[in-house]
Chains A and B, each alone.
Chain A
């Protein structure tokens, strides 16, 4: 302070005269380091090469396994995309797996109730209508679930971790009550044959849906007012409020988008397995958060990388599938994904510390 008072101390002027200081252009290394997505893509490629060589007869590279990777990644990507949108606005969602399960249970019930009994040849009387309505029920359930989350977070001002932890419990419980603890099986097989396990040019139909969703969200964030306001909200909520943005409806709509994506994932789930898989989605939040965070989306909000989410999802899925293929017991997958998450957040913290003013 003493130098600031003395008018003679010209040497300290740059310190108290920041207006003249231009923004330093960032070096190529730094810019590459900033876009975590490109890092993760390199890591993805390395892992795919490594697992290929480590697997018997290079089975990891087989068309069959690649298809399995794609379809495994599809649901994970849909959940991660929704989570990324919410994180962009500074909100978490732990209930994504539970939302998927509840949506799939209600969707499967709808399909079974409407499709009717199959004849001797396995044809269902009302299959088309049943599946269409089932899909609608899945997505609608997801959206409503999301809206409930959004209202709790925005209007009741409940911390998003707590709110969605609570709705996760409620959602899972409701699903179990409906199914009496079991899974709904016997969803009409044509749904699997013609959608869930079908593909076009070796790309599974469900994967196409997830890719379309990713592109749509990328465009939404990059080019629209909605996307800009979402990032503003995550970047500094009070600033967004003072700019006259209706922050609460924005949060609810984001939660609805995330919920809708869970609903789509729920429909894909029953289409793949021909049944619900209630026990299979406990780890979904872990995988989704890992995928989003390693892709370079900031957990404080304000910055979302949709491309990073894609590469992050690939990493999580390749890691899980690869470990199984090279014969590591499946329990180790969880350890691996958990460690990746912690390392990713560690790197994220490092970046935040080195960004300067946050």
Chain B
């Protein structure tokens, strides 16, 4: 054994050839009940490789719960999941990560006291070769080079890779969180409100990142309230209404008012 590097994950490598799957991630007919609250009744979404899918819904529609079931953080009561064309059943977020599904959480899930490099590799650390690696010693040089490359690939500029990320701005942290997810995700990247804390220009940058990621052959699923911006960047739209998928449609066919109408009024239409 000459290398302690973790061979099972594609550390920062850009897949050159077309990915060998059609459906990046999909959840069909997902249901979940918390006590007396039916958070999800019949939620479905499908993200194909190379596609940005927007998941819209009013507050309380079950978007976050749905995202968490896709990541294995919550176990649903019913429904099935497909990742990279294969049916899966995740027991934890680690299972999702092993299948190349990564997330950008709304709170970013970064460790403020760790450096940019350490944050990029948290949970996927590279160990030195040989004896030192067997003792758990990190290969920070290699980690720094790969983190630098991964950030460059996405045109993300940070002042230094060695600073604690508590020294970074909100936009920089957001970009870092996206870069980390892209670095380790090789099937799909799920983003929960990636533009919520950002100014106009950062939001545009993050939306560009979504496209960049999709162009690499990954599936991108983005939960957002930023309808105009995300509608522009998305290929398809899925709208959740009270735990049920109300609409799956190409984004080009939709306008913001139509999306809003479906988000808040789907049930009324159905009843009428």
Contact = CB atoms under 8 A, between A and B. Distances in A.
A274 interface: no
Contacts of B124: 243-244
Contacts of A303: 113
Nearest to B122: A243
A335 interface: no
B26 interface: no
A10 interface: no
Interface stretch (A16-24, A49-57, A162-170, A306-314): A16-24
Given A224-B136, A302-B111, A358-B112, A239 B170 contact: no
A244 B123 contact: yes
Contacts of B245: none
A244 B109 contact: no
B113 A19 contact: no
A330 to B, nearest CB: 39
A303 B113 CA distance: 7
A293 to B, nearest CB: 16
B163 interface: yes
Given A19-B175, A223-B137, A244 B159 contact: no
Interface string A216-252: 0000000111101101101110111111110000000
Q: How large is the interface on B (under 10, 10 to 19, 20 to 34, 35 or more residues)?
A: 35 or more
Given A23-B159, A223-B138, A228-B122, A240 B111 contact: yes
A17 B93 contact: no
A234 B205 CA distance: 31
A17 B171 CA distance: 8
A228 B126 CA distance: 12
B268 interface: no
A235 B114 contact: yes
A228 to B, nearest CB: 6
Contacts of A17: 171, 199-202
Contacts of A302: 111-114
Contacts of A226: 136
Nearest to A357: B166
B125 A236 contact: no
B196 interface: no
B127 interface: yes
B200 A18 contact: no
B167 A23 contact: yes
A325 B194 CA distance: 62
A356 interface: yes
B34 to A, nearest CB: 19
A228 B105 CA distance: 21
Nearest to A236: B111
A31 interface: no
A353 interface: no
A257 to B, nearest CB: 14
Q: How large is the interface on A (under 10, 10 to 19, 20 to 34, 35 or more residues)?
A: 20 to 34
Given A18-B199, A244-B97, A239 B122 contact: yes
A239 B177 CA distance: 11
B67 interface: no
Contact of B109 (A224, A231, A242): A242
Interface string B169-209: 11110010000000000000000000000011110010000
B135 interface: yes
A19 B108 CA distance: 16
B159 A22 contact: yes
B99 interface: no
Interface in A1-24: 4, 16-19, 21-23
A235 B113 contact: yes
Which of A22, A226, A234, A239 neighbours the largest number of chain B CB atoms within 10 Å of its CB?
A: A239
B112 A228 contact: no
Which of A223, A238, A244 neighbours the largest number of chain B CB atoms within 10 Å of its CB?
A: A244
Contact of B160 (A23, A235, A241): A23
B12 to A, nearest CB: 16
Interface string B113-155: 1100010001111010000000111101000000000000000
B113 A225 contact: no
B172 A232 contact: no
B11 interface: no
Contacts of B118: 228, 232
Contacts of A4: 199
A231 B111 contact: yes
A358 B168 contact: no
Interface in B75-107: 93-94, 97, 103, 105, 107
A239 B110 contact: yes
A358 B110 contact: no
B113 A242 contact: no
A357 B112 contact: yes
B135 A224 contact: yes
Contacts of B166: 355-358
Contacts of B122: 228-229, 232, 239-240, 243, 245
Contacts of B163: 23
Contacts of A356: 166-167
Given A239-B110, A239-B111, A228 B168 contact: no
Contact of A239 (B97, B109, B159): B109
Given A17-B171, A23-B160, 8 more contacts: A18-B170, A23-B163, A224-B137, A225-B136, A228-B114, A231-B114, A239-B110, A243-B109
7 contacts: A18-B199, A19-B202, A231-B114, A238-B107, A241-B93, A242-B93, A298-B113
Interface of B: 93-94, 97, 103, 105, 107-114, 118, 122-125, 127, 135-138, 140, 159-160, 163, 166-172, 175, 199-202, 205
